[in-house]
């Protein structure tokens, strides 16, 4: 069974854990560096990116998260998690993890009171996905190796760059688990063995 962690310092942690389990994988709450051991993939949830960064620093998680990224295992950032993954954050001197070849801008769709839901067409996912946007960032630009998966209102809101997946919205706040399932499909098969015909 695939073991998928959710960084559990702040944000929509419980909802991501439930979505992972709904997809048939084992969900692991990650609060300490040791919790990253033996994971197959990791989700950085939505929340408040500044508060999340403070907690990452307080719990000495930044370097372990960078080391996890270097293993090549898939990482998925939703909303604030996308900001943590991005190589460039508009208006900030330094990125956080800086591992995904995108530039992001915070609060691109207004304040908390401007939250909304909208059906999106996402490459690789059949049928519309009802997405929840809450103080969401968007991807201003994507590098040549980055695949744009979804655009809303002229703004990139979901992209994939190698093992990194990022989206502006909160897929975990719906009962539709297809975006989580898409992320889990990025985890390589453990066996790698070809079955005989």
The residues annotated as belonging to the active site are 79, 170, 172
Positive/negative CA dihedral, 129, 141, 114, 52: positive
**Residue appearing with tokens 């942690």:** 13
Q: Taking a C-beta distance cutoff of 8 angstroms, is the pair 85, 77 a contact?
A: yes
Q: Taking a C-beta distance cutoff of 8 angstroms, is the pair 152, 64 a contact?
A: no
β-strand pairing of 100-105 with 116-120:
unpaired
**Distance separating alpha carbons of residues 197 and 195, to the nearest angstrom:** 7
**Distance separating alpha carbons of residues 65 and 42, to the nearest angstrom:** 9
**Distance separating alpha carbons of residues 181 and 57, to the nearest angstrom:** 30
Start-to-end CA distance of the chain, whole Å, equals 24
């Amino acid at each position: 069974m695939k073991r998928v962690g959710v960084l559990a310092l702040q944000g929509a942690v419980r909802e991501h854990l439930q979505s992972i389990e709904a997809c048939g994988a084992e969900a692991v709450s990650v609060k300490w560096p040791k919790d990253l051991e033996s994971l197959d993939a990791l989700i950085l949830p939505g929340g408040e990116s500044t508060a999340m960064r403070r907690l990452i620093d307080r719990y000495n998680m930044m370097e372990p998260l960078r080391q996890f990224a270097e293993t090549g295992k898939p990482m998925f950032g939703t909303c604030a998690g996308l900001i943590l993954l991005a190589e460039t954050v508009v208006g900030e001197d330094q990125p956080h993890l800086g591992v995904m070849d995108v530039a992001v801008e915070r609060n691109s769709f207004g304040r908390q009171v401007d939250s909304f839901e909208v059906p999106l067409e996402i490459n690789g996912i059949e049928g519309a996905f009802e997405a929840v946007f809450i103080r969401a960032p968007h991807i201003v630009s994507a590098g040549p190796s980055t695949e744009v998966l979804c655009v809303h209102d002229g703004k990139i809101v979901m992209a994939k760059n190698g093992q990194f997946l990022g989206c502006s919205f909160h897929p975990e706040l719906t009962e539709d688990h297809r975006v989580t399932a898409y992320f889990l499909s990025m985890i390589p098969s453990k066996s790698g063995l070809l079955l005989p015909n």
